[in-house]
Structure 1
């Protein structure tokens, strides 16, 4: 069963990655889609292993019954809750980091004014005219030139400080149920719980599936 579920698991984690990097995917949809695809496998292997029909049409009938029957108990809701608490902060954190990278790249390519360029030239090379090639500019003069050249960049400081502080607060809050790594590493435990829940309630689930008109009609037509 694990091998048959591999494609659904891969699709689930692909959707998680797409969401984290800003794609327009809905966690509720891909969580439900995963458990929808898991139900036919659990049903055919654990609940009704004697079934002879393995067609895509039959599996689709079983898949469509999952949300009404609820074979996995509250596990899908628990997964969705954990994903909601952890994925959105992580997505926001990544978007904020990308914004910071853009700001850094922009400031790296700032053009200095002509006045600033002249001041830097005087500060660096005027002593050379007196033969003082190893003489460094005095601290006061150096600071004045730098302040003048970076005045427009200095305006970014309070905003940048607030940005860094917000990132630190968000990072500190991303622990436990808000830690996406913790949630994803423990995802298999919830899947195991879901499979076990369906196995324990197998007889009830079998009766519910058999009583559904879509499944009954399909069996009557094909047998």
Structure 2
């Protein structure tokens, strides 16, 4: 489900640049793609953080905002100059508190989603392992007796009694019975994470709010454009 939310959020963010910031829309496409790729990898358990993903995006965004919106007269955005602006972003904080706010807003929701994703993957592995567990000889014999012993007397329509079935299954599942307590705890954890996502840390709301956070950050930079230009020139 989170993949569909990511696609919708990415499309909405792309639309923001195409409608409100057309001069930089084409160049902003790659940083936007990288941002949502990083978020997806984080949810899937990659060794990264939400903060790294968001700040890396704003590092890439600032050269575009500076040269296409604040100082549109800049035509030659060389690789060295772009890198200089990227590094400057970390010092002058052109997007104000909006970049950090975006980190905060996303962190809890994405962390919960990351934990849920990992828990579901683990559960799938456990189920696959137990599903293909080999039956012992004793279990196989008991299953044959339970199923076919009445046939020897011509009683093909009579089913074994419930008590006998339970005893046979207890014997067959003895090897995995030790998982019962851990499995119950696992289910409780899934319920907790699901409730967290449905409450204040809703993933869909967090992802759909990304475009607005980016928009507010860009507007802040534009509003402080003259001051930013002076600061960059002094670097």
- TM-score by length of structure 1 reads 0.89
Superposed CA RMSD: 1.6
Q: SS at 2:159's partner residue? A: coil
Distance in structure 2 (CA, Å) of the matches to 1:123 and 1:175 = 46
Which residue in 2 is equivalent to 1:88?
111
Which stretches in structure 1 are left out of the alignment for 5+ residues?
A: 213-223
Change (3 A) 1:162 1:50: same
Q: SS at 2:167's partner residue? A: helix
Which stretches in structure 2 are left out of the alignment for 5+ residues?
A: 1-23
Structure 1 contact 176–182 (Cα < 8 Å) conserved: no
Change (3 A) 1:73 1:137: same
Q: Decide which of 26, 49, 53 is 1:26's aligned counterpart.
A: 49
Change (3 A) 1:51 1:143: closer
Which residue in 1 is equivalent to 2:89?
66
User: How much does 1:176 deviate?
Assistant: 5.7
| Match status 1:126 vs 2:156 | no
Distance in structure 2 (CA, Å) of the matches to 1:176 and 1:182 = 11
Distance in structure 1 (CA, Å) of the matches to 2:170 and 2:55 = 57
| Match status 1:183 vs 2:203 | no
Distance in structure 2 (CA, Å) of the matches to 1:116 and 1:98 = 29
Which residue in 2 is equivalent to 1:100?
123
Higher mean Cα deviation, 169-178 or 34-43? Answer: 169-178
| Match status 1:39 vs 2:62 | yes
Change (3 A) 1:187 1:176: farther
Residues 138-177 of structure 1 aligned to structure 2 (within 5 Å): 138-175=161-198
User: How much does 1:77 deviate?
Assistant: 0.5
Number of equivalent positions: 212
